[in-house]
Amino acid sequence: MHRSAGATMAWNVFRFCTALRGLGSIMILLVLSIVGVTYYAVVLCNYGPALLAGGASSLAALAVLILFHFLLVMLLWSYFSVVFTDPGSVPPNWNLDFDEERGETVPLSSSDFNTQMNSQQSMANNDTGHPRARYCRKCNQLKPPRCHHCSVCGRCVLKMDHHCVWVVNCVGALNYKYFLLFLFYTFLETTLVTLSLLPHFIAFFSDIDIPGSPAALATTFLTFVLNLAFSLSVLGFMIMHAYEKKTTPRWMYDLGRKRNFIQVFGNDKRYWFIPAYSEEDLRRMPVLQGLDYPMYSV
């Protein structure tokens, strides 16, 4: 008996999703290994000794080390916030009647819930009905606006953006801000490392005698290449993402740059650059819970 092409493709996709789930701790260890190598090259091999040596270069070394450690703390804080924060799942008995004042869903009775599920399943089959009412056949439940099913996680995720292997998690409503901050601090940190190690990288190809052991020189060279690659990759990702937004038709959830920013980062400016929200924003902004979103109107 031969399998159909569709069954074979589904089976291959399932194997791919299972492999992604298996990466888990390996990817976290890989990220920590890159951080460790970078720390060894910048602090222990180069700018730490320059600081202890004294002289005019010690002030520059101190500035680099302070900025390096600050960005590293923010990068790791953002990274582990993405890793360990649930991106958001559909609450039991969720329905479209959302209480914007309380930021909570109003539960349905059993009969009402079954009736609405059958109604929304019919809408999904016919591609008609309310544009925000959708039904997931895999999870057998209603889907809030901007909610999508993740084949890797095996569940529906609120405001799902994508499943990121680097953070071993989905990027969704409850950790999207943390993911953007992770990218932001990764770009700043890798750029700082690239610029601070650039003189050492140039000296590597010159006739100047460079102090340090062969292992330290090799680590410095590797760290420069890795951080340059990550810096350019993140920069390219941000440019591509901005260009894509500019060239696509206006989406119904696009409220403009300022309001879009607030929808992700909150109203409280004190929390914009840290992976957390104020209690006031969490209480007064239902959009941060990932269940209801204002739409653009002409």
Catalytic residue among 45, 150, 153, 164: 164
Q: Which of 230, 269, 208 shows the shortest CA–CA distance to 34? A: 230
- Confirm if 75 and 182 have CB atoms less than 8 A apart: yes
User: Looking at residue 47, what DSSP letter applies?
Assistant: I
Strand-pairing partners, residue 141, are 136
164 is catalytic: yes
Sequence-distant (≥ 6) Cβ neighbours of residue 62 within 8 angstroms:
51
Cα atoms found within 13 Å of the Cα of residue 70, Cβ hemisphere only: 10
User: Looking at residue 31, what DSSP letter applies?
Assistant: H
Q: How far apart are CA 194 and CA 229, in angstroms?
A: 9
Q: How far apart are CA 295 and CA 40, in angstroms?
A: 49
Distance set, CA 169 to CA 77, 83, 109, 245, 270 (Å): 16, 6, 33, 24, 27
Q: Which of 84, 86, 260 shows the shortest CA–CA distance to 156? A: 86
Which SS3 state, helix, strand or coil, does residue 196 take? Answer: helix
User: Looking at residue 43, what DSSP letter applies?
Assistant: I
Q: Which residues are catalytic?
A: 164
